[in-house]
Structures are given as structure tokens and as C-alpha cells.
């Protein structure tokens, strides 16, 4: 299965110069947040695959104008073609805006998901906006990762962890990090992964 990852910046390659041939074998699109609703609606129209998304810390417009034809997987475990996917959007709390959470608030969101995770015997992909603590995060409060995500990775060891929020043009950022049995991918701009 080929998955197209999107996050944080609308790709001119996709939006302005779309070539259907380049994306004809995409089976699923996942947005890790901070993208215009119109962009996601465009992508799901042009690429004939479902689009799942989580909220980024700048996705306030989604409240009144959510991306059409797309499915929000925030605070959910969804199963697509046998792949168990958990979604937890938002970033660290830094200025009282929506889609920002303290470490405790993120822990509480995860606690609500645990019965569903247990029922499904874990999950295969974790999709978030913010990274995990010390695994591709930044130094400032806004871009610090959640320790709650580290605990999820340690306990369930999913195959993949997709996130955004930390732009790859920030200093010393890596696209791919291997953590135990999990491959962590920063979805900044766009990236295609084979599951």
C-alpha cells in the first residue's frame, strides 16, 4: 500500500502543477495538520483515495470550514484495509489557542482511546501533528514533543509514526528516525511511504 503524507505547507508540486500519473498508485492520503482545508479537498478530489487528517495547531478554520471529502481521525482508532491507525492532533500548549494541549490533557485523550486500542490489540500507525519528545522535536515550547507519545511507542511499538509541525528547514531536522521497532516520518510538505 502506498500512503501519501502531507503536512504544514501546501506543496506547489501537488497544488499548482498536479500530475495525476505521479499519484495514480496512492492508496491512502494522511494529513498531519496545518494545511488549508481547500488544499486537502483538492487533493482528495484529484487523488482517488481516502484522506484522513488530524488537526494542526493552526487549523482553526476547520471548525467552520472542514476539508470536504476528508475524514478527521482525531481521538480515534480507524481501520483501513486491515491497518489500525490512531490519530491525535494538536501541539503543546503555548498560547491558549485551540488544538493545543498540556502533557496531562494529551494523556487524558490517550486514556480515552485505550479501550479501543486494547480491543484491537494495538495499532499499526500513529498519526499526530506534534512529534514525540526528543524524537525530531524542537527546543522551543511550541515545537516540543509529547512524552505521552513516547509511552505509546514504547508500549505498542507501531510500524509507523507520522507527524508534522516541525518543518524540515528548521536546523538539524531529519525526515526519518528509527526508534526501536517504529519508523518515525516527518510528513512536512509531502512524502510517499510504502506500507
Select the more confidently predicted residue: 174 or 109.
109
Q: What is the average per-residue pLDDT within 142-157? A: 96
What are the b/e assignments for 20-47, b being 16+ CB within 10 Å? eeebeebbbbbbbbbbbbebbbbbbeeb
Q: Is the pLDDT of residue 172 over 80?
A: no
Name the pLDDT band for 171 (thresholds 50, 70, 90): low
Q: What is the average per-residue pLDDT within 108-125? A: 98
Residues 78-109 have pLDDT tens digits of 999 999 999 999 999 999 889 999 999 999 99
Domains in the chain (CATH in brackets) are: 2-194 (3.60.21.10)
User: Do residues 58 and 80 make contact, with C-beta atoms less than 8 angstroms apart?
Assistant: no
User: Do residues 86 and 127 make contact, with C-beta atoms less than 8 angstroms apart?
Assistant: yes
* Closest of 55, 39, 73, 78 to residue 165, by C-alpha: 55
Pairing of strands 160-163, 182-186: parallel
Secondary structure of residue 84 in the 3-state scheme: strand
pLDDT of the residue at 25: 96
| Angle between helices 147-156 and 103-119 in degrees, nearest 10 | 20
Secondary structure of residue 36 in the 3-state scheme: coil
As a whole number of angstroms, the distance between CA 146 and CA 40 comes to 26
pLDDT of the residue at 63: 94
Residues 9-58 have pLDDT tens digits of 999 999 999 999 999 999 999 999 999 999 999 999 999 999 999 999 99
Q: Is the pLDDT of residue 170 over 80?
A: no
DSSP notation for 121-175: TS-SEEEESS-BTTBS--SSGGGPPBHHHHHHHHHH--SEEEE-SS-TTSTT--S
As a whole number of angstroms, the distance between CA 34 and CA 42 comes to 15
- The proportion of the chain whose per-residue pLDDT surpasses 70, expressed as a percent, equals 99
Q: Is the pLDDT of residue 173 over 90?
A: no
Amino acid at each position: 500500500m502506498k500512503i501519501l503524507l502531507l503536512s504544514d505547507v501546501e506543496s506547489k508540486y501537488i497544488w499548482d502543477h498536479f500530475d495525476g500519473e505521479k499519484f495514480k498508485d496512492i492508496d491512502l492520503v494522511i494529513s498531519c495538520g496545518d494545511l488549508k482545508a481547500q488544499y486537502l479537498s483538492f487533493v482528495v478530489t484529484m487523488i482517488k483515495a481516502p484522506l484522513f487528517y488530524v488537526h494542526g495547531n493552526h487549523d482553526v478554520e476547520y471548525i467552520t470550514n472542514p476539508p470536504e471529502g476528508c475524514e478527521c481521525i482525531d481521538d480515534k482508532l480507524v481501520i483501513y484495509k486491515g491497518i489500525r491507525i490512531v490519530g491525535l492532533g494538536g501541539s503543546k500548549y503555548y498560547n491558549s489557542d485551540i488544538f493545543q494541549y498540556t502533557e496531562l490533557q494529551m494523556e487524558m485523550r490517550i486514556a480515552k482511546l485505550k479501550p479501543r486500542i486494547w480491543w484491537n490489540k494495538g495499532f499499526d500507525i500513529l498519526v499526530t501533528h506534534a512529534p514525540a519528545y526528543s524524537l525530531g522535536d524542537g527546543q522551543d515550547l511550541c515545537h516540543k514533543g509529547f512524552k505521552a507519545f513516547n509511552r505509546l511507542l514504547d508500549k505498542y511499538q507501531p510500524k509507523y509514526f507520522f507527524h508534522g509541525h516541525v518543518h524540515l528547514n528548521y536546523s538539524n531536522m531529519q525526515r526519518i528516525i528509527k526508534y526501536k521497532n517504529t519508523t518515525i516520518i516527518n510528513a512536512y510538505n509531502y512524502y510517499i511511504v510504502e506500507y
